[in-house]
Amino acid sequence: GLARHVYTVPVSLSDAGVPNDELALRAGEAGLSAEPVSSVASALMLLRDTWDGPPPRILIGGSLYLAGAVLAENGTPPT
C-alpha cells in the first residue's frame, strides 16, 4: 500500500469526530498499521525518532477542524 503507518489524533475543535483510539482500531481492521497518539506534533516526533529510511512523505488528512488546529499550532492560520 501507499501508507506504511497511520497515526490517529484527537480533534479538539469538534466533538463530531471519531475518537482517535477507535479510528486506529478501524484502520487496523482495514489492514493498516495504525496507532493513536495525542497530537500531530507527537506523531511527527515519533516518526522522526523511529524512521530509518529516506525522508518520508507525510500526509496529514482529516476534517477542516483538524486542518485548522494544525495550521494554528504551526502558526500559519489561513489568511
Of 67, 66, 43, 69, nearest to 56 by C-alpha is 43
CA distance 27 to 33: 7
**pLDDT tens per residue across span 3-55:** 889 999 999 888 888 999 999 999 999 999 999 999 999 999 999 999 999 98
Specify the pTM.
0.85
The domain locations on the chain are: 6-74
Virtual torsion, Cα 16, 78, 45, 37, nearest 10 deg: 0
